[in-house]
Amino acid sequence: MRQRTLMIAVLCCFCLGIALLLPLQKVFIFTETRTEQPKQYYIPLTTEKKFQIRYTHSIHQTDVLETYQYVEGHRLQMLEMEYEDLAIGMPSYAEENQTLTQQDGKYFLHFYDKVIDNFTIYIGDLDLELVLIYQDVEYNLKENLQRGKSYLFQIKRLSFYEQWKGVRMK
């Protein structure tokens, strides 16, 4: 009888361990770079695949809107950039597998087949807008992440334990 109780307890602990460590929740994750103990910040994902990053260009002082979607696996596909000025730092022509159009004073650069695994985003210390938009919710990256730091942005699956260690963005 005692051996059976011990076996059940071990089995329960094993199942609990698997439940805590098995990566289940797909998230957008920002992992701090250039540090030995990186902090991780995440946004849980649902079935909606598209998201946007909106920022104010530091030179032009106009908004730039980048549209992405996540694709098979944990990859990112850049779909479009929308901006108002063709000056410093903004594309003025389309390259291979891209089209550039103009409508109502805005430029639209459409990407075809531009798929990446991740990208690094720098959180500048300027009081300019930087938000991630997902499911009509705006996540202010300047408030949620530390200014002056770089973060690796990617899509990943996290276990309950990893979610507990990280910071859920609001």
Burial call 61-92: b when 16+ CB within 10 Å, e when fewer: eeebbbbbebeeeeebbbbebbbebeeeebee
pLDDT tens digit string along 42-100? 999 988 999 999 999 888 788 999 999 999 888 999 999 999 988 777 888 889 999 99
Domain range for 49 is 2-168
pLDDT digits (tens, 9 = 90+) for 118-170: 999 999 888 899 999 999 999 999 999 999 999 999 999 988 888 888 888 88
pLDDT band at 5 (very low <50, low <70, confident <90, very high): low
pTM metric for this prediction:
0.84
Task: Give the distance between the most distant pair of CA atoms in the chain.
Answer: 79
pLDDT reported for residue 27: 94
Q: Is 60 exposed, middle or buried (0-12, 13-18, 19+ CB in 10 A)?
A: middle
Q: How many domains does the chain have?
A: 1
> What is the three-class DSSP state of 52?
strand
